[in-house]
Amino acid sequence: MDFSEVTLSDEDRAFRDEVREFLASVVTDDVLRRDRETGDNFDEQVHLALGAAGYLERDWRAEADGGFTAVQRRIFELEVSRAHTPWFHWPTTAMVANAVDHFGSEELKAEVLPHVLAGRCRLCLGYTEPEGGSDIATCKTRAVRDGDGWIVNGSKMFTSNAHHAQYVYLVTNTDPNAPKHKSLTMFLLPLDSPGVEIQALRTVDGDRTNITYYSDVRVPDRYRIGPVNGGWGVLREALNAEHGTGERATDGLQKLAVMTEHALLLAEEVDRIAGTVGERLDDGSVAYRLGRSIARLEAALSTPEMFGRVAIAQTMRDITPELMDIGGTRSAVPEGLNAEYLFRLSLPTGIYGGTLDVFRNMIAQHALGLGRPNYTPGR
């Protein structure tokens, strides 16, 4: 791994200052307070401002196509995290916009992409179902041909941000008799279609997600993304991006792993607690536990790709109880983004975008070459 420092050019420094100033003007205390209350991880005014300033478009496009340079992208990601910007609706939207760009019809691209880049249109993920999400291909939500369109029936769990999105990127089953990886078809379904119902769901960390229901929803064929029964191939690309297992650039500037934003929040809390221990460092157990927490955090912050995804969530789970202990009673009171909150956040962090168990299996199988796990009882 390359640990060398990047020397910022004058233009890069000017860009960093510009982004920092912009975020300070839009991510106000009021926005942050509202975001914690709603658990939305989204603020429409902030999102529209980012769109109007051209940041969403430059983040989405490749450098050769008018997007950020690699250094600018890194600066932008770090500044967005440091400002605690309500943000997580954008990576999802950007990922689905990529799928629309690669697999959608020209008509659909024209309908959706300009509004996405301006911030007016957001896209959410409809993969997980009530009977299980790790194996997406077991999808039971049905889409049946009806003239020049389709009729969709089913339900999806954890359709995060659906209540702020205009479309859901929906996995459907279009051939229940086919092998499961040959039975899927993807749609970009407009969420204002008659028959769509969005029901709020709160998670343990106070975030808001949703259950979405689809009852006889009619969707024209132009909203199909990719071939009929060829949805698995379309989906794989988005899943690789979500898992952080896609191809990586070799310049060392790429975000190290998905969810490093959470690790940066943890680093802030570790620093805060370390700043309060004072003389208690003379107590060997405080020094040992704080030192171990810092070492674990540094390791997580330096671990790339899917390994980093596991290291971040596991480290959050392991060290936040230590931090609450060291910080004393106040650290256990829900107050801002403190250790207590980060402990609760660590639980879904190890679930969404694939559970830690599933990631550990992927590492065992694909990185260590240990073969497929065998779940036969008694083995």
Ligand X SMILES: Cc1cc2nc3c(=O)[nH]c(=O)nc-3n(C[C@H](O)[C@H](O)[C@H](O)COP(=O)(O)OP(=O)(O)OC[C@H]3O[C@@H](n4cnc5c(N)ncnc54)[C@H](O)[C@@H]3O)c2cc1C
Give the integer Cα–Cα distance in Å for 376 and 379: 6
**Closest distance to ligand X from the beta carbon of 253 (Å):** 28
Q: Which of 55/158 has CB closer to ligand X? A: 158
Burial of 333 from C-beta contacts in 10 A (0-12 / 13-18 / 19+): exposed
Interface residues with ligand X (CB under 6 A)?
124-128, 132-134, 158-160, 203, 207, 209, 348, 351-355, 357-358, 361
The residue type found at 65 is: D
Catalytic residue among 111, 242, 322, 340: 242
Q: Which of 207/305 has CB closer to ligand X? A: 207
The single-letter DSSP state of residue 8 is P
Catalytic residue check, 242: yes
The single-letter DSSP state of residue 138 is G
* Tokens 């005014």, located at residue: 45
Q: Is 353 helix (H, G, I), strand (E, B) or coil?
A: coil
Terminal alpha carbon distance of the chain: 38
* Tokens 């690669």, located at residue: 102
**Closest distance to ligand X from the beta carbon of 235 (Å):** 11
Per-residue tokens: 118: 């301006």
Per-residue tokens: 282: 């003379």
Q: Which are the contacts of 26, defined by CB distance < 8 A and separation ≥ 6?
A: 45, 46, 49, 50
The residue type found at 264 is: L
CA distances from 220 to 156, 188, 189, 209, 281 (A): 20, 10, 9, 27, 65
Q: Is 202 helix (H, G, I), strand (E, B) or coil?
A: strand
Per-residue tokens: 137: 């291909």
- The number of C-alpha atoms within 13 Å of 197 and in the hemisphere containing its C-beta is 9
Chain residue whose CB lies nearest ligand X: 133
- Would you name the residues annotated as active-site residues? 242
